[in-house]
Amino acid sequence: MPFEMRSKRVRVHILRDGAAGKRRRGERRRALACLWIKTAFRSRGMDEVFDRYLTALGQIEKLPAPHLVRYQQGLVERLVRHARDNIAFYRDRLGPVFGPGDRFDFSRWPEIPVLDRRAAAQATQQMRAPHLPESYGDVHEISTSGTAELPLRFTVNGLVSLAANGALTQLCRWHGVDTARALATIKLYPDDDVPPLPDGIQMKGWSRAGPESDAYGLDMRAPMEQQLAWLERRRAPFLAATPSHAMAIAFAAGEHRARALGLEFVFSIAETVLPRARQVVKDLFGAKLLAIYSCQEIGFIGIECPVSGQYHIVVDNALIEILRPDGSQAGPGETGRVVVTGLYNYATPFIRYALGDVATAAAGPCACGRTLPLIAQVEGRTRAEFIFRDGTRMWPRGIHSDEIRTYVAYREFQLVQADYDVIEFRYIPQPNAHAPDFDGLKSYGRRRFHPSVDIRALAVAEFPRGRTGKHEHFISLVSEDRH
């Protein structure tokens, strides 16, 4: 049985149109745009629920593997029964997993069709539950534009926020992060809800384990000097930002000023983490980068292990499959597309949802002693797959960006496959660095990408941010996922 929110103060409602709805939407965007920053309930009773939930998470992460599987399958069954019984979109779709006597048969799980983003965007209204019990929490609507995909409008219930904050707090405990101290978040806010300059916004309790801790927010489109001045005033020891933006802040500050900010941990959100980001955060801020794998549709999916550095799957919130092109389960060390089922969003269930990511499956058990399953690495988006004229394919994340720096010194980069045999290496030059070796870069491209490749270097002053504020390191203009 999943945790339920039992409080007389809990009300379930869907956001409505009109002036009142717009006011409520503005208030809740701030709380829900990044689900793990703030939970939806502020009462002593709910704090007690959260404490019990954290205790349960501590027990779940050490369960013997067979017990862990049974526990998660129980969560899956409850969600699936709810979706089949209450949501017309899922009624026939989930039929394969119900046998004689209405018995749930998880062995037939792969027979449920995979839901891709295009299908989800077309059906999100039909995927919504018409009503929920109060114990599942308030229901809010979220809109997400995506970096290059179709927009989604869907609902989430309060359990998703509780689970996300629980996973964040679990991550903090693993890494020795004190949740009673302040967190500063710099991210892209909705256009109609941008925190005012120069002070941004201030809230309390970014983790429910530290309800009086300060939480600050600022929009990443603020002038960089204002961002630095804001961080200097706030003096928060923890920062949440995309890894590319954390690097941009570090480079703008320079080592002395960056160190003086006093950052100890940087929570990486919204982007794939490359080794370069970890090194810059360490060298300039003197801080440790902690990776979080999440999406708005599901919440937290994976959090970084303090021992192996891989992602432990948040089994209480997400069922993860990494699939080969034929739909079979990828083995350890294999790369495949990520298909995820969110276990606590009863308002708009996402069941066997291909969210557009590619990841590498890990081998267990983990050296840390936790039995939670692992993702070795999140490689990036499916649309970033490089495809060459002879049919050869690769995920460019495996390219060692530090090797490229021996030929062309850069602060930030982007690899764009413009055609089957043309790759553009776009880069922001590193000041006072060695002269670029473009011939060496071309030879490197033919060795590491494909013998037919012509790699061309293009210096740029900056990289424009997409609608979500993310920086894409790898773009394929010939990927099948773009057509």
Q: Does residue 207 carry a pLDDT above 80?
A: yes
Flag whether 10 is in a domain. no
Mean residue pLDDT across the chain: 85
- Mean pLDDT computed over 171-193: 92
With cut-offs at 50, 70 and 90, classify the pLDDT of residue 331: very high
Please report where in the chains the tokens 């039995």 appear, as a residue: 371
C-beta separation of 335 from 358 below 8 A: yes
Note the helical H segments in 146-221. Answer: 158-175
Task: Give the range among 64-78, 138-152, 168-182, 203-217 with minimum mean pLDDT.
Answer: 138-152
* Residue type, position 467, single letter: R
Mean pLDDT, residues 40-61: 75
pLDDT class for 38, splitting at 50, 70, 90?
Answer: very low
Whether 344 maps to a domain, the answer reads: yes
Model pLDDT, residue 406: 86
pLDDT digits (tens, 9 = 90+) for 222-256: 999 999 999 999 999 999 998 988 988 999 999 99
Are 139 and 132 spatial neighbours (Cβ–Cβ below 8 Å)?
yes
Could you list the residue range(s) of the whole structural domain that residue 171 is in? 19-381
What is the model's pLDDT at position 102? 96
Same domain, 376 and 466: no
3-class DSSP state for residue 49? helix
* SS percent in the chain: helix, strand, coil, step 5: 35, 25, 40
- 57 part of a folded domain: yes
Whether residue 3 lies inside any domain: the answer is no
Cβ(418)–Cβ(474) below 8 Å: no
Over the stretch 103-146, which tens digit does the pLDDT of each residue have?
A: 999 999 999 999 999 999 999 899 999 999 988 999 999 887 65
Which residues partner with 322 through β-bridges?
A: 338
Going by C-alpha positions, the residue among 325, 322, 331, 442 that lies closest to residue 393 is: 325
* Kind of pairing between the strands at 410-419 and 393-394: unpaired
Q: Lowest mean pLDDT: which of 13-22, 383-392, 429-438, 447-456?
A: 13-22
Calculate the alpha carbon distances from 345 to 2, 134, 355, 426 in Å: 11, 14, 15, 40
User: Residue 421 belongs to a domain with what CATH number?
Assistant: 3.30.300
5 within a domain of the structure (yes/no): no
Name the least confident of 33-47, 194-208, 364-378, 400-414. 33-47
Predicted confidence (pLDDT) at residue 423 exceeds the cutoff of 80:
yes
- Regarding whether 402 and 360 lie in a shared domain, the answer is no
Cis link prior to 365 (omega < 30° from 0)?
Answer: yes
Select from 381, 410, 435 the last residue of a domain.
381
Q: Is the CB of residue 280 less than 8 Å from the CB of residue 159?
A: no
What ranges make up the beta strands (E) of 401-459? 410-419, 422-429, 454-459
**272 shares a domain with 371:** yes
Are 287 and 223 found together in one domain? yes
Percentage of the residues of the chain whose pLDDT score is greater than 90: 57
Q: Domain with 38 in it: what CATH number?
A: 3.40.50.12780
Range with the lowest mean pLDDT among 50-54, 255-259, 303-307?
50-54
Banded model confidence at residue 40, pLDDT cuts 50, 70, 90: very low
- Do residues 374 and 453 share a domain? no
At 411, is the secondary structure helix, strand, or coil? strand
Strands (E), 55-147: 115-116, 139-144
Give pLDDT, residue 17. 35
The single residue listed with the structure tokens 């959090």 is 303
Instruction: Verify that 402 and 348 share a domain, yes or no.
Output: no
Does residue 24 surpass a pLDDT of 70?
A: no
Q: Is pLDDT at 305 greater than 90 in this prediction?
A: yes
Q: What is the per-residue pLDDT for 10? A: 26
The answer on 220 and 313 residing in a single domain is: yes
Which one has a higher pLDDT value, 198 or 17?
198
Q: What is the dihedral of CA 168, 169, 175, 180, to 10 degrees?
A: 120
Q: With contact defined as beta carbons under 8 Å apart, do 301 and 293 qualify?
A: yes
pLDDT higher than 60, residue 373: yes
Residue 479: per-residue pLDDT: 66
- Rounded to 5°, the CA angle 393-396-399 comes to 125
Q: Please give the Cα distance from 296 to 146 (Å, whole number).
A: 10
What confidence tier does 11 reach under pLDDT thresholds 50, 70, 90?
very low
Same-domain status, 217 and 268: yes
The answer to whether 311 and 293 are in contact (CB under 8 A) is yes
Given a cut of 60, whether residue 302 has pLDDT beyond it is yes
Q: Which residues contact 23 (CB under 8 A, 6 or more apart)?
A: none
Among residues 352, 381, 410, which one ends one of the domains?
381
The answer as to whether 11 is a domain residue is no
* 398 band by pLDDT with thresholds 50, 70 and 90: low
pLDDT of 467 above 80: no
Shared domain for 478 and 366, answered yes or no, is no
Strand partners, 153: 143
What's the sign of the alpha-carbon dihedral 267, 270, 276, 280? negative
Q: Decide if 152 is inside a domain.
A: yes
Task: Let me know whether 91 and 202 are in one domain.
Answer: yes
Question: Does 475 share its domain with 328?
Answer: no
Domain annotation covers residue 84: yes
Q: Are residues 207 and 308 in the same domain?
A: yes
Contacts of 317 (CB under 8 A, 6+ apart): 160, 163, 164, 167, 298, 299, 300, 301, 342, 343, 344
Judge contact between 29 and 151, C-beta under 8 A: no
Last residue in a domain, options 365, 381, 397:
381
- The domain tally of the chain equals 2
pLDDT in the model for residue 397: 67
Under DSSP, the state recorded for 98 is B
